[in-house]
Structure formats: structure tokens, C-alpha cells
Amino acid sequence: MKNNFLSLLLLAAAAPVFGQAPARTVHTEESLFLNMQKIGLGALDDAEEKKKFLDTVKLEKQKIQYKMLQGVYDNAYELYRSGDYESARDMAARILAIDPNFQDAAMILEASDQLRGSARPALSERVMIEDRFKAALSLYQEGRIVEAHRAMEEVSKLAPNNIKARYWLGRMKDNLKDYYVAKGEEAYARRDLKGALDNYYNALLIRPRDNAIIERIARSEEELRRERATDGLKTALEAYARGDLKGAHDGLRRVLEIQPGDAKAGKLFSDVRGEIEQGFLERGKQLYGRRKYTEAIGEWDKAKPYSENPKYLAQLVSRAKQQMKLEEDARKRRAEEAARRAREEEERRAKEEEERRKAEEEARRKGLASGPVEKKPQVVTEENRVSAQRHYMEGIKHFQSANYEKARDEWTIARQLDPGNADAEAGLKRIEQLLSGGR
């Protein structure tokens, strides 16, 4: 329903009344977001940055709505001034349905309700204006300055040519300014600096060039900044005492945003940043020592927002990545070497089997064997004997390291290459005894 109201109001705001120029294009929230991206907003990782951004979007959305409703109000006011009280009332009611706090729309609604259907609108309007004028003066005489000023301001808006209303509105402005200044001084005396500033700024809205008000605002804002910085510093120190370095860091950063020149906060901020960075550095180095390179890089990346020497961090990351590549290359080489040796061993066995098969075939063909061909003893070549000895020595290394499975694999290969290798045979028997629980 609210969206329908917005659509109707947009159409009403865009429609020209009494020669009014068409309203300018209203930007949507999405277009605002895109425009912010164009000016380099980038990715928002920090939670505080995201909150600030969302607050900015909300504020911009409120500005857009206010501008749109102000355009509708201008049309409603023109309708009221032209005597079309019915249309003015309907349009004011629609504004209040979206923003119940739009005071000028409430004024138009009330005045239009009072005047619509009148047989003599001009007379009725004069009577209404006079009654409102007297009511505003009565409030003023009672000392109710804020209410009197608001009431007289409405009279001046409803009847802009009323000289008496303009005169009294000017007098009331001075009194209202003094009222807000006095309220501000009272709040300042109570050390309610925010309350004092609220009143001083209200006074400044009435008299924007009053140097005395500007000086009061400057004084109060400086004291409020010091007060907030002191409170923030205290909170940050408490966080530091608890060992909450991140909380201390964020608190000190806020203090420096309030008071950029605070030397004590600046020194503490630098020290805390250094401690946080050192923590990430040490954890990264420990992980690096355990060859957990990816986790180490993650820790060093976390240190970057706190580091004053990003070049050193980049060197650590580069070294870890280089070591990861070296070890990966070494693993690939070992795998390739193992695969090559397995292929060679398979080829050797296949070759020996082929030679044995051919010898049996030759023996049968020549009739040298009357029955099944006896298997000839395997002839061990010098190359196989050397290779068998090499595997035997490799097995010795694994055996000394208590890696019995690897030792057994190596000695098994040695025995296959040289069945007469007594050392390999003895080693295999020893391993079988150990693995079976013998001594």
C-alpha cells in the first residue's frame, strides 16, 4: 500500500501546477549504490565500514523521500493558495500517510479542513488567519516562546502577505534564539554537552551568522571531543589490561578519529598494532616450521592491516610459497622415480619370463627333454647383482630407521634380482621375526 502512495505522490510531484517546472528525476537506492561504486567504494570487509555505509544509504534514502515529499507539499500549497481546499487536503493527507511528522503538511490539512465547503472562502480565510494570529500572540505573552514561534510561522506561511505576522515572527525569532541559547547554557552548566550543542544549533538555525553562538558551539564541541576521547582511552586501556588487543586497537582508533593529535593515544595505538602484528608473525613462523605453509600464509595475511613493514610480510609469504613449490616438485620427482623403477622392474621380469618361455620352447622343439622341461636355474647377470646389492643397502637404511615395511620391500626386490643374495634373505627372515613378535 505504501508503495502505491509513493507512486501516486511521485506522479503528483512531477505534475506541473500553475506553470511549475516538472520535478527532477529521483534516484533510487540501487542507483545510489551503483554511483558509490563508481567513485571507488570497493569491497567492504570491515564491520564498522559496512555499518557506516548502510547508515549513509539510509540517510540518502531519507533525503530522497524528503525531497519528494517537499515537491508534493509545494503542489499542495499551491492548491491551497488557489482555493482548491479539497485537493490540497487530499494531497496533504497522502504526505502524512508516509511521514506523519511533516508539520507543514499537517498545517495545510488542518487549514483546508477548516475552509473547504465555505460559502465565502475569502472571508473565512481572513477570520481563520486572525484567530491563529491572536492565538500565537497569546502563547507569546504566556512566555511559551517555542509554541508561539511555530504558531506565528504557520500564520506567515498561510498568509505570506500578512504584515503583522511577518513583524511579530521577526521579534519572536530573536526571543526564540535567546531561549535556545539560555537552554544551551543551562545544559552546559550541567556538563550535558550534547544537550547544550542541540540547543546552540537550534539557535544558530534562527540566526546563522551570530558569532557568539558559533563560539559557544566551538567551545562545546572541543570539550565534547576531549571528553569522548578520554572515555574512549579509558575503555581501550581496560581492554588492553584484559589482553583484548583487538578491542584496544579499535578503541584507540576511535579515540584518534575524535582527537587525531592525541600523542598518548597515538603511541599506545602504535604499540598495540605492533603487538598484534607480532602475534600473527610468531604463529605464522610456528606453522611454517611444521610445514603448514598455507596456514602460515593466512596468519601473515592477517598481520597486514597492523603492519608498518608490509614488504617484510610479502617476503615471508613469498618464501612460504616458494618452499611449497620446492616440496611439491620434490614429491613429483620421487613419484616419477618410483614409477620409473617399477616400470623397469616389470620390464625386467617380463623379459626374463619371455627368455625362459623361449628356452622351454626350443628344448621341446629339439626333443632334448622327454618329459616336462625342467626349469633351469636363473642366471644372474652382473647388472642384476649390482642392482640387488643397491636395493639391499637401501633396505639397511630403512631397517636402521625402524621402517621395516620399506626395508622388506627393498630386500624382496634384491632377492628377486639375485636369489643367491644371502644378506637379503637373512634380512627378510629377521624382519619376519620382528613383525611376528620374535627376537
N-to-C CA span, the chain: 91
CA distance linking residue 271 with residue 277, whole number of Å: 10
3-state secondary structure 315-336: HHHHHHHHHHHHHHHHHHHHHH
Is the full-model pTM beyond 0.85?
no
Grid cell for residue 113: 479542513
What digits encode the pLDDT tens for the residues 407-426?
888 889 988 888 888 898 89
Q: How far is it, in rounded angstroms, from Cα 213 to Cα 223?
A: 16
CB 78 within 8 A of CB 64: no
Q: What pLDDT, on a 0 to 100 scale, did the predictor assign at position 361?
A: 81
- Write out the three cell numbers for 102: 511533516
- The Cα diameter of the chain in Å comes to 146
Residue indicated by cell numbers 625362459? 356
Q: Give the separation between CA 306 and CA 18, rounded to whole angstroms.
A: 62
Q: In whole angstroms, what is the distance from residue 415 CA to residue 419 CA?
A: 5
Q: Tell me which residue of 112, 120, 117 sits closest to 94, measured CA to CA.
A: 112
Considering only CA atoms, which of 153, 154, 159 is closest in space to residue 171?
A: 153
Contact criterion met (CB below 8 Å) for 204 and 210: yes
Measured from the Cβ of residue 296, the count of other Cβ atoms closer than 10 Å reads 24
Regions of the chain where pLDDT drops below 70: 1-50, 119, 367-379, 437-439
Question: How far is Cα 276 from Cα 279, in angstroms, rounded to an integer?
Answer: 5
Please tell me the predicted confidence (pLDDT) of residue 26: 43
User: How many whole angstroms separate alpha carbon 16 and alpha carbon 23?
Assistant: 8
HEC profile for the chain?
A: CHHHHHHHHHHHHHCCCCCCCCCCCCCCHHHHHHHHHHCCCCCCCCHHHHHHHHHHHHHHHHHHHHHHHHHHHHHHHHHHHCCCHHHHHHHHHHHHHHCCCCHHHHHHHHHHHHHCCCCCHHHHHHHHHHHHHHHHHHHHHCCCHHHHHHHHHHHHHHCCCCHHHHHHHHHHHHHHHHHHHHHHHHHHHCCCHHHHHHHHHHHHHHCCCCHHHHHHHHHHHHHHHHHHHHHHHHHHHHHHHCCCHHHHHHHHHHHHHHCCCCHHHHHHHHHHHHHHHHHHHHHHHHHHHCCCHHHHHHHHHHHHHHCCCHHHHHHHHHHHHHHHHHHHHHHHHHHHHHHHHHHHHHHHHHHHHHHHHHHHHHHHHHCCCCCCCCCCCCCCCHHHHHHHHHHHHHHHHHHHCCCHHHHHHHHHHHHHHCCCCHHHHHHHHHHHHHHCCCC
Residue 11: the pLDDT is 46
pLDDT tens digits, one per residue of 29-50: 444 444 444 434 444 455 666 6
Residue 414 in 3-state DSSP? Answer: helix
pLDDT computed for residue 113 by the predictor? 86
Residue corresponding to grid cell 499551491: 78
**Dihedral sign for Cα atoms in the order 112, 115, 121, 126:** negative
